[in-house]
Structure 1
Amino acid sequence: MLAQPADDLVHILLVEDSPTDVMMTREAFEYYKLLNPLHVAEDGVAAMEFLRREGKHRDAPRPGLIILDLNLPKKSGREVLQELKADPELMNIPVVVLTTSKSEEDVAKTYGLHANCYIAKPVDFTKFVDVVRRISDFWFGVVTLPPVKP
């Protein structure tokens, strides 16, 4: 899957408030031997602090990909997406929305806020792990990502 040297690995920011989904994502990384560093923000406020390198995140790496849940405490995923895409320093970071909602309205609004893709989160563990693998295969095997600004 990933044949990049360790120094060239793209950091991923997972914005997810469900400890179970965070655990399943980490297990998927381990199972498929995905080497990309995975950072977790448990709510929308923490995500923006990480991205803007504020407070305890002063030395945070700039992620090359964000996996974003929509239903977050403190600041929703939609609000995070809107702020992110309005910020010239952050707007080029690709955002994969991975959420439980299959609502056509959510899909339309999310793409209207410039999400790069929208994936309905499978409930089944095996299917969830496969979705994580497919995200990795696509974003790190097919797509050319924009350069990560330091």
Structure 2
Amino acid sequence: MNTTAIKPILIVEDSAEDFTALGRAFRKHALQNPVLRCEDGEQALEYLRGHGRKVGWPQVLPAIILLDLNMPGLDGRDVLAAIKQDEHLQAIPVVIFTTSANAKDISSCYQLGANSYLTKPIGYAELEEKVRLIVHYWLEASELPA
């Protein structure tokens, strides 16, 4: 495992049920990284721009961000654009993790700088497999910025 072992994984997800399932799938794969949740886009940008400034927030930026697209308020596209336009955040890999398989959504996310686009599976076994692939690729195989 590379040096990202201590960096958190940030999940930006408005659905508590989806976050719970993701957390369970990450734990099944013995992930050592803390898994954090921001419930909406505003909270995600507040966290990312102010990491370490609030009690309980980690002192380091996340190794990767899993970002839902369709959230109330500031949606995932807006969050993605803000991250990729911020010189302090733009190197963090952003994986879009959403229910939409719409070609326009996929294209626009890559144009905005998404590093990957995955659709959320319906079944839990398929979710575990996607999480296994995320962990293997992004946290074990890839060389991420310090």
Which residue pairs with 2:107 in the alignment?
Answer: 108
- The 3-state SS of whatever aligns with 1:66 is strand
Which residue pairs with 2:28 in the alignment?
Answer: 31
Retained in 1: the 8 A contact 2:69–2:97? yes
- The 3-state SS of whatever aligns with 1:145 is coil
Q: Aligned partners of 1:58, 1:50: CA distance in 2, in Å?
A: 11
Q: Aligned partners of 2:64, 2:138: CA distance in 1, in Å?
A: 8
Q: Aligned partners of 1:22, 1:63: CA distance in 2, in Å?
A: 17
List per-residue Cα deviations over 1:107-143 (Å, max 9, x = no partner). Answer: 0000000000000110111101110111010001211
Give the partner amino acid of 2:13. E
CA RMSD of aligned residues (A): 1.9
Retained in 2: the 8 A contact 1:29–1:35? no
Query: What's the TM-score once normalised by structure 1's chain length?
Result: 0.89
- The 3-state SS of whatever aligns with 1:96 is strand
Give the partner amino acid of 1:113. L
Q: Aligned partners of 2:42, 2:111: CA distance in 1, in Å?
A: 21
Retained in 2: the 8 A contact 1:12–1:63? yes
Q: Aligned partners of 2:55, 2:86: CA distance in 1, in Å?
A: 18
Give the partner amino acid of 1:146. P
Query: What's the TM-score once normalised by structure 2's chain length?
Result: 0.91
Q: Aligned partners of 1:19, 1:37: CA distance in 2, in Å?
A: 17
Query: Offset of 1:56 from its aligned partner?
Result: 4.2
Which residue pairs with 2:78 in the alignment?
Answer: 79
